[in-house]
Chain A
Amino acid sequence: MERTIVIPGDVVSDNIKMSGSGTYVHGNKVRASVYGLLNVGERYISVIPLAGKYIPCASDRVIGIITEVVYSNWVVDINSPYEGLLHISQYPRRIDSENMSKYLKVGDCILTMVASVDASMKVELTLREKELRVLSNGRIVTINPTKMPRVIGRNGSMIRLLKSEIGCNMFVGQNGRIWINGSGDCIDLAIQTVKYIEDNAHTPGLTERVQAFLKAKEKTRHGKVHESRNDEE
């Protein structure tokens, strides 16, 4: 899909009811507030930013890294200007506050969910939800959070493609962190592909091009396998 690039201050609509994310209303016009791609929907006009930080929002699934263990809370880095707090009661099991770091220590990674964000931007996290857990294997790559929707694709089409073509397990956090697990080669290829998507996130027809990218990689991979076999002979 072809999209127009807009810069802050551009008039995007005359109908103030159409104002969506990345826009603001001034006078009787809707203007873009961020530098990005114009997205004209049926009911709203929004601007998809090309850069920016992750701002936590309740019920977002994010990947966090423990940075500190304080009294009855874990402080979690969620790749955002705001840090997350995981209370001891939000750990799946009942644990004693004295041996908290036995279960989660500094540097551990968790797949967690934002339970609530209050007006002072205090971010509370939880592990008490289906599929939330401590990540003990695999690798984590970080991309720009604004590019994250392209890695998932429409209705999850891109992520399904990646999982089936590469044959690895993946989870994309809303905060731009992506957890990948599988064999070493698979992870390397997955990371390359994710970076490719990040670099080309603003271009149309991305799914097809990722398919082509993976096909090209597949060829070189097989080429290498043949070479090494020849060496053995």
Chain B
Amino acid sequence: MSEKPEHFIIDGKRLDGRRVDELRSVKIKLSPLDRADGSCYLEWGRNKIMAAVYGPRELHPRHRQDMTKAVVQYRYNMAAFSVNDRIRPGHSRRSIEISKVGRDAFEYVLFTKFFPKTAIDIFIEVLQADAGTRTAGINAASLALADAGIPMRGLISACAVGKVDGEIVLDLMKEEDNFGEADVPVAMTAGGKITHLQMDGHLTRDEFYEALKLAKIGCDKVYKLQRQALIEKYSGEYAENDEDAIPQAQIGDADE
């Protein structure tokens, strides 16, 4: 583990050269997996995440079936090689928690009522971790769900905000996460409805509201990237066959 740096922000720049309100670089690849119904590979800074969605499919064991709606199963897992010190494979206190909050983040948006007695399985594999894997996992899962053709109210976008050197910053990297003063992962719909919110560390009330405002800006940026990835998946082929570019649909605005 690296040493705690003396200053996190020098001349308005962070350790990796970002401004306080800047996200790490994001790369998205849709449908990398043939067998899954929907999948997404996401690179978020140095995080590398694979998300796969199966379903709706028959749920076993049958006593877990819900006669009124689909059961959402969310499994977050870190590969043993995803961090410097090998982590013990399998469930841990942390992965169970992240799976639970991940599942809950999608509860509001998925139309599970359409598929009684089935299961929608979401798998998140963290191949390389560098702080912010739960938010990156939610972003990848959101795209994989859309790719699987599962009906939902809208995409979920997530990013973290935190406090280092007494300043509110967007999207913590590893050092900031380990030695910073607070870490607040947030997930929300395009309309700004929060579906996931946790906090580790301390913030005053004013700082917390400032952090939420910054999180909204970050999630909007993430939403634009997600949207672009989905549109581009098919527009590339469109462009080859047709001269006209496809007109963009109206971007989903605020939920009433």
| A interacts with B | yes
Look across to chain B and name the residue whose beta carbon is closest to the beta carbon of A122.
B117
Residues of A within 8 A of B238 (CB): 203
A4-B249, A10-B251, A120-B116 as given contacts; A31 in contact with B150, CB under 8 Å: no
The listed residue with most A CB atoms (<10 A of its CB), out of B38, B67, B237, B249, is B249
Interface residues on A, range: 35 or more
- Distance, CA A38 to CA B250, complexed state (A): 12
Cβ of A72 < 8 Å from any Cβ of B? no
Distance of A81 Cα from B37 Cα, bound (Å) = 12
Complex CA gap A49/B114 in Å reads 15
Say yes or no: B146 contacts A5, CB within 8 Å: no
Task: Determine whether A76 belongs to the interface, using a CB cutoff of 8 Å to chain B.
Answer: no
With contacts A53-B56, A120-B116 taken as known, whether A5 is within 8 angstroms of B230 at the C-beta atoms is yes
Contact assessment for A34 and B150 in the assembled complex, using a CB-CB cutoff below 8 Å = yes
A4 to B245 Cα, complex, angstroms: 10
| B114-148 with Cβ < 8 A to chain A | 114-118, 146-148
Inter-chain CA distance A31–B154, complex, in Å, is: 9
Check: A150 CB closer than 8 A to any chain B CB. Answer: no
In the complex, what residues of A have CB within 8 A of residue B167's CB? Answer: none
Q: Which of A20-28, A134-142, A176-184, A185-193 contacts B (4 or more CB under 8 A)?
A: A20-28
Question: Which of B231, B241, B249 is in CB contact (< 8 Å) with A12?
Answer: B249
Could you name 9 residue pairs across A and B whose Cβ atoms are closer than 8 Å? A5-B230, A7-B230, A8-B146, A8-B152, A26-B255, A32-B249, A51-B148, A203-B241, A204-B242
A residues whose Cβ falls under 8 Å from a Cβ of B: 2, 4-12, 22, 24, 26-29, 31-36, 38, 49-53, 55, 81-83, 119-121, 146, 200, 202-205
Hey, which bits of chain B sit against chain A, CB under 8 A? 37-38, 55-58, 67, 109, 111, 114-118, 146-155, 189-191, 226-227, 230-231, 234-235, 237-238, 241-242, 244, 246-253, 255-256
Q: Known contacts A34-B152, A82-B58; can you find 9 more A-B pairs with CB under 8 A?
A: A4-B248, A6-B249, A9-B152, A9-B190, A33-B151, A51-B148, A55-B115, A83-B58, A204-B241
